[in-house]
Structure 1
Amino acid sequence: MKLLVLTVFLYLIASHISASDPSPLQDFCVADNYSKVFVNGKVCKDPKLATANDFFFAGLDKPGNTSNPLGSKVNPVNVMQISKLNTLGISLARIDFAPGGKNPPHTHPRGTEIITVLEGTLYVGFVTSNPENRLISKTLNKGDVFVFPEGLIHF
């Protein structure tokens, strides 16, 4: 009986599973945009060479040209514009819409997206993976914020 209890106890300890994203091993990883190597993002340049410009981007104040078939223009801000975003799973964009403009359904497999409406109204939504692939949608107004969970198809 003691052997059985000991065996069950050891099994329960050994079967404990824990999963999470690993914590970064460094404060930041500024991308070396000239390297041809990619390992979970771009290669990090020497942190002693980081400057304020590696953490900065200017230009989201300029509206995009929406005179195209979709009636929208996405101006992305990702690791190509702010090299510090390397390995963080973060990107940002300004999206301008003409009246009736659209942003086709898409996904970001490794990042959650948050949207803020600065002017007008916008119909947004995403499709859940569980249960039953439900559509969760809402019409947003000026000042509203909406979150699209990581990896889900959204518009």
Structure 2
Amino acid sequence: MVQTLYNPTVGANIMSTTFALNCFGGELFAPTNKNFWSPSSPIIEGYGILRRVSIQHNDVEAILDFNVLKVSYFDLFVGHPIEKLLLDVPHTGVLDIKLGKMVFFILILRLKNSMMEPIPDSEPIEEVMAISPFEAPESLLENDANAFVEELGRS
């Protein structure tokens, strides 16, 4: 099984060196001097860039470049938005993708971390007076009615 992570806000597609060499060993890797830093790990050394990797899911195709890094805790990390590929993942939890000439069934370990729509503003909360358990609500209404009548009389 291929371990895949997806977070469209990262802005980089990453592939582990082991996975890249096993699946694309005959492909030419573009040289890179990029290293990556993560708060949870030391600097991760870059191995190269695998360019123009075709990812297909159903009838949708995306061509992505992957930074190949010496990581061991995942095989693929897609860090660009590919929502068209992910439309049916919430129902199945699996991507049926084709990388180059190989087909993989990938379980999504983490779904996308995208911003939620803002909550619509509700009507403002009206001030509520506390009701004493020792007074009947009717007596409070009578007091309010008397105060209202007095205000009308002053106008």
One fold, TM greater than 0.5?
A: no
TM-score using structure 1 length? 0.23
TM-score using structure 2 length? 0.23
- Structure number with greater CO (CA < 8 Å, separation at least 6) is 2
Structure showing the higher strand proportion among its residues = 2
Which of structures 1 and 2 has the bigger CA Rg? 2
Structure showing the higher helix proportion among its residues = 2
